[in-house]
Every structure is written in structure tokens, then in C-alpha cells.
């Protein structure tokens, strides 16, 4: 019989201390917010995979098409032969296109989840027999020391998926600067950024007809109940996706449908009808916004590729 999976059976005492701290801080504060990274337990990761297949969720599909089409040009524009360093590699599904085009001899996937990282690194190494894979477990929000074997190699950072969109401006700048420090002057960075577009396209992408995104959002409350011994009445919350135009971002919230009170780790909290927990920001960038942000972070844009609707951009920048 298969052993039970750690994440689904985690008892309150074993929950990630950082998760615990973020959740308690959220409910103790009047401006309730929980960092989006806590969506991704096992169920959450599976639900995100399901989101990427939804007809309304255009980003993954659009970016993958751009990578399939333009990785050859990325190689021509200076990427050829470089060591690819992927930030938040996860399952590395988009990486083969780039690795095939660039033809470097090393690959450094960086992820905070060691188990996931080693599994996907092993799978990639099997598919690319000539490639030296050096998985690096760590938090890429901070500058990291790359493996000795790639110290003198020219590098190409890879940060797909519009993950930068989850960060507020200040954090995204910190990240871009950290990446510059990690990779070094003269390095390249290939980054995926989602464009500003009509809310008529954006809202359904984050509030789909099948309700998968709603389940993804609500799973956070189930996770709190499971891992932090919570009594949150999940069915009395509603998934909300809204476009915040002044911040150019989609926000996801969980809205209380009634006045309520519940406990988390034995501590009692209450919420009023209509109050929300802010669970995610997904910032969108126009062409000039993207260039300015990158430049402020120490990166000069060398090339951009977009789809015919200009819904998503792949940007190549140099440190």
C-alpha cells in the first residue's frame, strides 16, 4: 500500500511554521490577507494544473505557444550555449523547449520544494542525456550562490508563468535585483509577463464557468482547517475575482457570506458579512510598464515576443 502523503495528513503540530504565522497574522489583522504561495499544497497544485487547461485561462497556453515558436530566436539573440537557471522551476514543464534551443551543457533548476525539485530534475536529466543538471533548493527571492560548476558559464535566467505578477511592485523589484546578483552582470533573463487587457477577458480567466478557480481559492480555507486545526465554515465563503485598475491587477478574495466566528489553532476570530480575505494579486504589465520595471531592477530589455492579441509577453533582458 502507498504511504499516506505528508501534505494531506499533516496534523496541526506539523504544519509549516511560516504558514501558521501567516494565517494567524491574517486573522489578527483588520486587513485580512494571506500570501498566495500557501495555495499550493497537493490539492492546490492539482487545481492549478486544472486551471491551466481551462478555456478561459489563456496565460499558460499563450506562453507555451510563444516558447514553442520563439526559443530558437532566444538562442539567436545571445541565449545560445548558456547555462539555463530556472527560478521556481516546479515541474519544469516549459523548460524542454528552451533547453533544446539553447543547447547549453548545464541546467540549474531552483525551487523551494526540494522533493518536487529533485523529481523533476531527474526526469529532465533522463530526457537530456548530455546535460548536467544541478538542482538548487532555496528561496529565489534572495540572492543565491550558484553551483561551482556553472560559476564561469554564461547564464540565461528563466522565469516563466507570469509568476512575477503575484508580487507587489516593491517585491518584484527586490526579486529582479536578487536575480541580477545571483546570475551576474552580462547575464540574460527570459521572463514571462501577462499584459494588461480588458476585464472582460481577465475576470473570466480568474472566475471560470466551471468553478475550478473558486475551488482553488477556497482550498486555502480547507488547508487551514486541515493543517491548523481550523473550524472555518468554508461553504459560507464566496470566491471573488476583481480587477483593481489603479494597481493594474486581478485580486482574488474570499468573501464571508454571513457574520461568523471560528477558531484556528484554538484562537477565536470573527468576520462580518461582506468582509474578505485577500488571497492573491496577479499584476498585469503594459509594454512600457514591463520595460520600466525591468530597468529599475537592473535589466535592459533586448527583445520581446508577444502573441497576435498581445495578451502575453516573453521578454529577454540583459543585466
Rounded CA-CA distance 16/41 in Å is 11
Residues 6+ apart with CB under 8 A from 311: 58, 59, 62, 194, 195, 197, 201
Residue 121 or 241: the one with the smaller Cβ distance to ligand AVJ is 241
Q: In whole angstroms, how close is the CB of 137 to ligand AVJ at the nearest point?
A: 20
Q: In whole angstroms, how close is the CB of 41 to ligand AVJ at the nearest point?
A: 14
User: What residue number has its CB nearest to ligand AVJ?
Assistant: 282
Record the cell numbers describing residue 77, joined without a space: 539573440
Q: In whole angstroms, how close is the CB of 36 to ligand AVJ at the nearest point?
A: 7
Exposed / middle / buried, residue 187 (Cβ in 10 Å: 0-12, 13-18, 19+)? buried
Cα-based distances in Å from 276 to 70, 183, 185, 225, 306: 41, 39, 43, 17, 35
Sign of CA dihedral 71, 74, 76, 78: negative
Record the cell numbers describing residue 185, joined without a space: 552582470
Q: Is 277 helix (H, G, I), strand (E, B) or coil?
A: strand
Q: In whole angstroms, how close is the CB of 60 to ligand AVJ at the nearest point?
A: 8
Record the cell numbers describing residue 65, joined without a space: 505557444
Taking alpha carbons only, the member of 76, 75, 94 closest to residue 86 is: 94
Contact by Cβ (8 Å): 290, 193: yes
Taking alpha carbons only, the member of 119, 77, 123 closest to residue 101 is: 77
Q: In whole angstroms, how close is the CB of 103 to ligand AVJ at the nearest point?
A: 28
Residue 157 or 165: the one with the smaller Cβ distance to ligand AVJ is 165
Q: In whole angstroms, how close is the CB of 52 to ligand AVJ at the nearest point?
A: 8
Rounded CA-CA distance 291/287 in Å is 6
How many CB atoms are located within 10 Å of the residue 29 CB?
A: 9
Taking alpha carbons only, the member of 194, 193, 174, 190 closest to residue 86 is: 190
Q: Which residues bind ligand AVJ (CB under 6 A)?
A: 51, 59, 161-163, 165-166, 206, 213, 280, 282
Residue 109 or 161: the one with the smaller Cβ distance to ligand AVJ is 161
Residue 187 or 282: the one with the smaller Cβ distance to ligand AVJ is 282
The C-alpha torsion from 148 through 149 and 153 to 156, rounded to 10°, is -90
Q: In whole angstroms, how close is the CB of 299 to ligand AVJ at the nearest point?
A: 20
Q: In whole angstroms, how close is the CB of 266 to ligand AVJ at the nearest point?
A: 31
Residue 153 or 280: the one with the smaller Cβ distance to ligand AVJ is 280
Residue 51 or 150: the one with the smaller Cβ distance to ligand AVJ is 51
Residue 15 or 252: the one with the smaller Cβ distance to ligand AVJ is 252
Residue 158 or 262: the one with the smaller Cβ distance to ligand AVJ is 158
Q: In whole angstroms, how close is the CB of 44 to ligand AVJ at the nearest point?
A: 10
Residue 146 or 250: the one with the smaller Cβ distance to ligand AVJ is 250
Amino acid at each position: 500500500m502507498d504511504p499516506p502523503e505528508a501534505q494531506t495528513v499533516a496534523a496541526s503540530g506539523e504544519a509549516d511554521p511560516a504558514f501558521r504565522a501567516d494565517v494567524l497574522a491574517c486573522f489578527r489583522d483588520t486587513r485580512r490577507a494571506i500570501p498566495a504561495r500557501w495555495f499550493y499544497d497537493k490539492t492546490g497544485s492539482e487545481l492549478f494544473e486544472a486551471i491551466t487547461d481551462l478555456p478561459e485561462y489563456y496565460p499558460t497556453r499563450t506562453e507555451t505557444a510563444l516558447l514553442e515558436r520563439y526559443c530558437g530566436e532566444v538562442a539567436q539573440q545571445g541565449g545560445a550555449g548558456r547555462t539555463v537557471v530556472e527560478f521556481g522551476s516546479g515541474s519544469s514543464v516549459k523548460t524542454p523547449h528552451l533547453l533544446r534551443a539553447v543547447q547549453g551543457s548545464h541546467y540549474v533548476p531552483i525551487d523551494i520544494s526540494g522533493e518536487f525539485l529533485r523529481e523533476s530534475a531527474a526526469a529532465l536529466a533522463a530526457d537530456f542525456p548530455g546535460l548536467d543538471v544541478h538542482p538548487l533548493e532555496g528561496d529565489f527571492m534572495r540572492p543565491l550562490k550558484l553551483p561551482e560548476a556553472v560559476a564561469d558559464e554564461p547564464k540565461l535566467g528563466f522565469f516563466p508563468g507570469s509568476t512575477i505578477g503575484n508580487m507587489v511592485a516593491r517585491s518584484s523589484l527586490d526579486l529582479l535585483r536578487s536575480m541580477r546578483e545571483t546570475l551576474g552582470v552580462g547575464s540574460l533573463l527570459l521572463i514571462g509577463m501577462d499584459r494588461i487587457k480588458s476585464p472582460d477577458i481577465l475576470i473570466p480567466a480568474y472566475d471560470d464557468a466551471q468553478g475550478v478557480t473558486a475551488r482553488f481559492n477556497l482550498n486555502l480555507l480547507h488547508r487551514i482547517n486541515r493543517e491548523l486545526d481550523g473550524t472555518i465554515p468554508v461553504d459560507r465563503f464566496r470566491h471573488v475575482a476583481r480587477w483593481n485598475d489603479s494597481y493594474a491587477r486581478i485580486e482574488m478574495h474570499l468573501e464571508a457570506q454571513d457574520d461568523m466566528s471560528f477558531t484556528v489553532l484554538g484562537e477565536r476570530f470573527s468576520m462580518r458579512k461582506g468582509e474578505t480575505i485577500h488571497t492573491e494579486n496577479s499584476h498585469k504589465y503594459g509594454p512600457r510598464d514591463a520595460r520600466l520595471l525591468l530597468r529599475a531592477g537592473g535589466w535592459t530589455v533586448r527583445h520581446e515576443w508577444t502573441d497576435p492579441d498581445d495578451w502575453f509577453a516573453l521578454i529577454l533582458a540583459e543585466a
